[in-house]
């Protein structure tokens, strides 16, 4: 057991911060889906709208055009599919195609999203953020005074969002929390959230953590996104140690290997694997 499910990222967008444009065609998306599943992804998170700072909203029809071939292909492969969207219309379309989870980076700005999930019996990841991506400051830019206690305030805001979701009919156990590393947080605040993850786990909500290639890593090593794998793995190991249920990552195989080694250190190798080695 590696301790957390791995959610593989698939952005079918032209402008995402790390892999924008790489998987924008249906053929490229299908190849990436095959790769992520072969690497051991438990969930595929497919998004048609960038959530980088300054990104403008993408109309629902365009998001659907971008994601539909990938969602259909992934569902046909038998994958568990999450759709990364803040749009109730996009969420409903993906759920009708067979998706089972909605990943909302808006902290439930539109409660209708929860109503859609309730109708389909799907899960909803509520990620903490403040305001639309188009208004978000640059990467890991947020005032030090933006939070007095970032862990406590993010917990309160997520809990309020969960109550709004439940008011729209969504079962409490179908709500996941994501502290939103890097979203309206500076690097110091993102590190504080990682240190405080156990407090999120205490709420009973399954905890999703997405540190993959993010800019807070550059606060300790000024590396571009393509050279942040080491920091990503370190954050993932810390997250699992403190109660994360799901890790949202681009590099599924590398993170899976790191988690397997950490598990072997803590618990030892199964006898059959020792003999094989």
DSSP string, 13-25: -S--TTTTTTT-S
Edge to edge, the sheet with strand 246-249 lists: 175-178, 123-127, 101-104, 80-84, 43-47, 5-11, 246-249, 208-209
Which residues are CB-contacts of 46 (< 8 A; sequence separation ≥ 6)? Answer: 10, 12, 29, 67, 70, 71, 74, 81, 82, 83, 84, 94, 99
The CB density around residue 18, as the number of other CB atoms within 10 Å, is 16
Q: Structural domain boundaries of the chain?
A: 5-276
Cα Rg for the chain, rounded, in angstroms?
Answer: 18
What phi and psi, each to the nearest 5 degrees, are found at residue 121? 70, 25
Q: Per the structure block, which two tokens stand in for 5?
A: 């499910």
pLDDT tens string, the chain, 277 residues long: the values are 468 999 999 999 886 655 656 888 999 999 999 999 999 999 999 999 988 777 788 999 999 999 999 999 999 999 999 999 999 999 999 999 999 999 999 999 999 999 999 999 999 999 999 988 777 777 788 999 999 999 999 999 999 999 999 999 999 999 999 999 999 999 999 999 999 999 999 999 999 999 999 999 999 999 999 999 999 999 999 999 999 999 999 999 999 999 999 999 988 887 655 545 5
pTM for this structure?
A: 0.92
| pLDDT value at residue 15 | 65
Strand partners, 80: 43
Which residues are CB-contacts of 90 (< 8 A; sequence separation ≥ 6)? Answer: 48, 60, 63, 64, 67, 83
Only one residue has tokens 């599919």, namely 81
- On whether the 5-276 domain is CATH 3.40.50.1370, my answer is no
Residues tagged active-site: 214, 248
| pLDDT value at residue 14 | 81
Q: How far is 35 from 49, CA to CA, in rounded Å? A: 22
| pLDDT value at residue 1 | 42
Q: How far is 115 from 182, CA to CA, in rounded Å? A: 27
Nearest by Cα to 218 from 139, 159, 153? 139
| pLDDT value at residue 275 | 47
Nearest 5°: the CA angle 249, 234, 196 is: 90
Q: How far is 165 from 35, CA to CA, in rounded Å? A: 34
């Amino acid at each position: 057991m590696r301790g957390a499910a791995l959610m593989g990222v698939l952005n079918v967008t032209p402008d995402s911060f790390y892999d924008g444009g790489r998987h924008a065609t249906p053929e490229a998306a299908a190849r990436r889906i095959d790769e992520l599943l072969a690497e051991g992804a438990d969930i595929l998170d497919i998004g048609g709208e960038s959530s980088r700072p300054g990104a403008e909203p993408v109309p629902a029809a365009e998001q659907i055009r971008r994601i539909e071939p990938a969602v259909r292909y992934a569902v046909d492969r038998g994958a568990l599919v999450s759709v990364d969207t803040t749009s109730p219309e996009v969420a409903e379309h993906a759920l009708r195609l067979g998706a089972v989870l909605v990943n909302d980076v808006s902290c439930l700005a539109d409660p209708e999203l929860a109503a859609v999930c309730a109708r389909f019996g799907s899960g909803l990841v509520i990620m903490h953020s403040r305001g639309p991506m188009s208004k978000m400051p640059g990467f890991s830019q947020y005032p030090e005074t933006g939070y007095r206690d970032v862990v406590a305030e993010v917990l309160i805001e997520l809990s309020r969002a969960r109550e709004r979701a439940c008011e729209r009919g969504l079962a409490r156990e179908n709500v996941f929390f994501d502290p939103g590393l890097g979203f309206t947080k500076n690097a110091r605040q993102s590190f504080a959230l990682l240190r405080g993850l156990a407090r999120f786990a205490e709420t009973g909500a399954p905890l999703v953590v997405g540190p993959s290639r993010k800019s807070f890593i550059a606060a300790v090593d000024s590396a571009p996104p393509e050279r942040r794998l080491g920091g990503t793995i370190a954050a993932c190991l810390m997250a699992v140690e403190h109660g994360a249920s799901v890790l949202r990552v681009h590099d599924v195989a590398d993170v899976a290997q790191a988690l397997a080694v950490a598990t072997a250190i803590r618990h030892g190798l199964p006898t059959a694997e020792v003999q094989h080695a």
